[in-house]
Structure 1
Amino acid sequence: MYLLYTILAALLCFLVLKWTKRRRYCMDVKRLDGKTVLITGGNSGIGKETAVALAMRGARVIIACRDEERAAKAVREIKARSHNMNVLHMDLDLANVRSVRDFCKSFLQREKRLDILINNAGMPSVLDWTDDHFSMCFGVNHLGHFLLTNLLLGRLQESAPSRVITLTCSLYKYQKLDFQDLNYNLLPFFTYCRSKLANIYFTQELARLTEGKGVTAYAVHPGYVQSNWTCHYSVLFRILMRVIMFMFFVSCELGAQTVVHCAVTDEVTQHNGGYFSDCRPAALRPFAEDAGVAKKLWEASERLVKLA
């Protein structure tokens, strides 16, 4: 009898956890025929599910990532699931400033439109450095996307109304930026938190600078998602995290819903520069809404990536 009660209690806990993991789906059925979407890191996880969802709506979808073999496999899967053959891959390494510049030059030569830019790719909290000597989290999660967006901004304005969606995380609340050491890389978890806070400031300043120019910007917290970010860690850690993710995290398909919502729904334009979670606007900590800090970060980022 004790064993039965134990099993029932465990089942009840599991069902409660499943209930708390429920998230909203994007219910907008708007089509994207004739639109071009660029998704960084679209070969796996949330990026790939976002690519499938937008390709199903008729968009031309370009996934930008550095692993050509994985990208080719992802393109085949996206085409098969969406029944849209207008899906392709372009090489991009966000950890290398030259690669970002080369990618943008190639993109602008090949593509006449850019309606939706989704800055999805990201690095977890790893103690590593980019080719340009930036901490990996800050270099990829913020600086790489900062440069990419700026170099493609003219095409976004030409294609207006257009949108820039940058994935962030609610973990931003555990750190503040230190302008004496933006490249902080001593404690990987805190470096990751800072990079996600930078994503929020970047979105706010981008919205301010492009106001009235037909480009709107949104920062999205997709929730805690069962993605493959653990591939950067040891086997033991991956096994442990798989168990935790199964219990507490949501699927990549669910994680992509707020991204899709911000990409297609008309009502989000009322919240330009806003922070979204679970397919709706969400509140930020007061320090994350400091326009002065957002402007200062933008100017510092311009200097770091040598953006004229």
Structure 2
Amino acid sequence: MSFTNTVLITGGTTGLGFQCALTIARAHPEFLIVITARTDSNSAAATINKTLRQKNVVFLPIDLSNIATVRSFVKDWETKKYPSICTLLLNAGLQFPEGLRKTVDGIEATFGINHVGNTLLFYLLLPHLAKNVRVVVTSSGTHDPAQKSGLPDAKYTTAEELAYPAPEAAQIDGRQRYATSKLCNILWVYALHRRFQAVEGTSMTVNAFDPGLMPGTGLAREYSAPMRFIWKNLMTRIIPLMRVLFHPNVHTPRESGETLAWLATNPNLEGASGGYYEGRKTIKSSVDSYNEKYQEDLWEWTVKFDAKSPEELSRFEKAN
């Protein structure tokens, strides 16, 4: 079958990403849906194809914690001659609640995976994006202290300090690193939005998405065994109660996956860019997320870290 466009979803084999891929594949059999993760141990792509009796979903491995493998992924992509990417969902993310973890490239792992890995993939895929591409970055309400999520407040200093924290930062609660990485997602979205808007004749859009609390997903896989049990077996059964007692933005992965698919493909949202979506409505993100000094510090550090040549630096900076 000849496909018209490609949809690429990082973290697409489980939870939110899987449900989003299933929803888009069902609604758009004419699209090639590429789901990525380190592994596809549950045969997610085959499961979706079998469920829908289609063949438009494929799995490609990528490790966002390793710059070399991200670059290898894109080199391999260029040989496949896939249709242009009309939808890029930067959804993959991890949380490390205890201790200080680093990637093989020597940067703090939460920041490295949730921000650097996803953004490097975006920069390298620029030549393969459709002119009307929709980019959606999965963030979280945990980035906003005003939402009182229960996690330590996000704290942005500089991108350099987030990537290379001082030794004493090992004592910081890893959940704060996660909240801060979700703030970085939004800072980067707003910086990218400004650059998209500056390109004449473009209809590229970029938005941030808060899927809400989704008990049962793989986000808690680095937690202790008792906490993983509660996350997967108890909290999944009391979601309606949690909406009443905790926050209305608590959902199953299927519910949030369908909403992410809506944001990614709904024709009524064509041209909508620079927004922060909680479910299907735009809301204000945190006060710090609108700080343009933070946005530009993060953007400039990221392109300099990700680029390996002057040509890449220029192309990444302009994002076109």
Into which bin does the TM-score normalised by the smaller protein fall? 0.7 to 0.9
Map 1:233-272; keep pairs closer than 5 Å: 233-242=223-232, 243-247=234-238, 248=242, 249-272=250-273
1:95-136 deviations in Å (ceiling 9; x for gaps) = 000011111111122123111111111101344221111212
Query: Is this contact kept in 2: 1:119–1:167, CA < 8 A?
Result: yes
Which has the larger displacement, 168-177 or 193-202?
168-177
Cα drift, residue 298 of structure 1: 0.6
Q: Would the aligned equivalents of 1:42 and 1:64 in 2 still touch at CA under 8 Å?
A: yes
- 1:207 is aligned to 193
Q: Any residues of structure 2 matched to 1:105-184 within 5 Å, and which?
A: 105-110=75-80, 111-126=82-97, 127=99, 128-156=101-129, 159-173=130-144, 174-179=153-158, 181-183=161-163, 184=165
Cα deviations across residues 235-279 of structure 1 (Å, max 9, x unaligned)?
211122232343234211011133112111234345312110111
Q: Which one has a bigger Cα radius of gyration? A: 1
Structure 1 position 219 matched with structure 2 position 205:
no
> 1:62 maps to what in 2?
34
Percent identical: 25
* Superposed displacement of residue 38, structure 1: 0.5
Residue 210 of structure 1 aligns to a residue whose secondary structure is: helix
**Aligned alpha-carbon RMSD (Å):** 1.8
**SS in structure 2 of the partner of residue 131 of structure 1:** coil
SS at match of 1:181: helix
Aligned-pair CA distance for 1:280: 1.5
How many positions carry a matched residue from both structures?
272
Q: Could you tell me how far apart the structure 1 residues matched to 2:88 and 2:53 are?
A: 22
What's 1:229 paired with? 219
Q: Deviation above 4 Å: which 4+ runs of structure 1?
A: none
Structure 1 counterpart of 2:68: 98
Determine if contact 1:176/1:194 at 8 Å carries over to the other structure: yes
| Contact 1:225–1:251 (Cα < 8 Å) also in 2 | yes
Tell me the equivalent position of 2:275: 274
Q: Which amino acid aligns with 2:83?
A: K
CA distance in structure 1 between the aligned counterparts of 2:271 and 2:93, rounded to whole angstroms: 27
Looking at structure 2, the residues matched to 268 and 193 of structure 1 have their Cα atoms a distance apart, in angstroms, of 28
Return the alpha-carbon distance in structure 1 between the equivalents of residues 269 and 41 of structure 2: 36
Closer, same or farther: CA 125–282 of 1 in aligned 2, 3 Å: farther
Matched with 1:52 is 22
Asked if 2 retains the 8 angstrom alpha-carbon contact of 1:39 and 1:118, the reply is yes
Q: What 5-or-longer segments of structure 2 have no aligned partner? A: 145-152, 243-249, 314-320
TM value normalised by structure 1: 0.83
